[in-house]
Structure 1
Amino acid sequence: MAYANTRLIQALRTTAARMREGAPYQWGHHGQCNCGQLAQTITQRGHREIHEAAMSRGGEWRDRARDYCPTSGLPIDGIVRELLAYGLSPSDLADLEYLGDDRVYARVVREGGPRELRRNERDHVVLYIETWATMLEEQLAAREAGMGAVA
């Protein structure tokens, strides 16, 4: 799971709110899909610019994150670099695209959410992102509490 930090948590919350409010969403559009939504928030780029950059390398977001090369000069690698700088890992991006983190899924179900998360259903994506943000907030609070006990 991503490195818990305030900046990432805020980006996740902002993304979920924007999606809930009706931001254009299409799972098959690289700038409007699950990762594209978060990329819009973090990079402050529009969905068209993100989609065009993503088209510079084939595959899906999980492929782009896995194949990330900081020296390629490809626009998509610049976007991935910004996402990783927020504390995300390549596997976090794959999990977001497919709503695939088992810990987030288990939490959603435990809290009464759907037993099946559909990667291309806006409400499921929003729930996943909000749950993930809450889990990161809890990790951050626990880490900070542990630091306070040592100091």
Structure 2
Amino acid sequence: MSAPKFELIAAIRNTIDKLKKGSPYQWGHMGSCNCGNLAQELIHLSKAEIHRFAMEKSGDWNDQLIDYCPDSGYPMDLMISKMLEKGLTINELRHLEKLSDPKILKNIPFPKRDHLKKNKLSDVLLYFETWLEMLENQWLEESVKLDAIMLQKNNLDKVFA
């Protein structure tokens, strides 16, 4: 799992909130599917813009992630690059589209984890919420470690002053 970045955590939280409030969800639409909804929040494009850019190449999100080339000049590849810059990995995006990341799934109780449907909004929300909780916990753990390092450094500075 990628190192959590605050901007990614906020985008996932906003995606969840928008979907719960009725934002368009359609798994077969590149701008309003699992990745498309997150892309709207993360790179601030509309579902129509995302879909239009995606249609310049062939295939769904998974196909385009396989064919991703940061130097191609295709708008879809530029969008993916922007998402990677915000803290995602190619594998996380591929798993998001299919709700298939083993690290996230192991945090979803049985029997639900074995029956997630990639095009069912309630399952998408469960996946996003589980992922969000994992990223927030990781963020907190890293913050505590950083605080401990800074505290130790400050104490050493006092000793050697």
TM (normalized to structure 1)? 0.92
* Letter of the 1:93 counterpart: L
Tell me the residue number matched to 1:139.
138
Pairs within 5 Å for 1:54-73: 54-73=54-73
**Is residue 9 from structure 1 mapped to residue 16 from structure 2 by the alignment?**
no
Quote the Cα distance in structure 1 between the aligned partners of 2:5 and 2:45: 22
Match of residue 34 from structure 2: 34
* Residue matched to 1:85: 85
User: Which amino acid in structure 1 is aligned with residue 149 of structure 2?
Assistant: V
1:106 is matched with: 106
The structure number with the bigger radius of gyration is 2
Q: How far apart in 2 are the matches of 1:30 and 1:137? A: 27
The 3-state SS of whatever aligns with 2:106 is helix
In structure 2, C-alpha distance between the alignment counterparts of 1:33 and 1:118, rounded to whole Å: 13
Q: Once superposed, what is the RMSD of the aligned Cα atoms?
A: 1.5
Q: Is the partner of 1:100 in helix, strand or coil? A: coil
**Shift of residue 101 of structure 1?**
0.8
Task: Give the C-alpha shift of residue 113 in structure 1.
Answer: 5.0
Helix, strand or coil: the match of 1:4? coil
Distance across 1 between alignment mates of 2:2 and 2:36: 17
- Please say if residues 20 and 123 of structure 1, whose CA atoms lie closer than 8 Å, have aligned partners that are also in contact: no
Name the residue aligned to 2:47. 47
Distance in 2 of aligned mates of 1:137 and 1:56: 35
Q: Which residue in the other structure is 2:121 paired with?
A: 122
CA-CA distance at 1:74 after TM superposition: 0.7
**Stretches of structure 2 lacking an aligned partner (at least 5 in a row):** 151-161
Are the aligned partners of 1:26 and 1:32 in contact in 2 as well (CA < 8 Å)? yes
**Counterpart in the other structure of 2:96:** 96
Aligned length: 150
Deviation readout 1:9-35 (Å, 9 max, x if unpaired): 010000011111111111111111000
- Relative contact order higher in (CA < 8 Å, ≥ 6 apart): 1
Runs of 4+ deviating beyond 3 Å: 112-115
Is the Cα–Cα contact under 8 Å of residues 104 and 131 in structure 1 kept in the other structure?
yes
TM-score (norm 2): 0.87
Q: Distance in 2 between matches of 1:66 and 1:148?
A: 39
Conservation of the 8 A alpha-carbon contact between 1:25 and 1:32 = yes
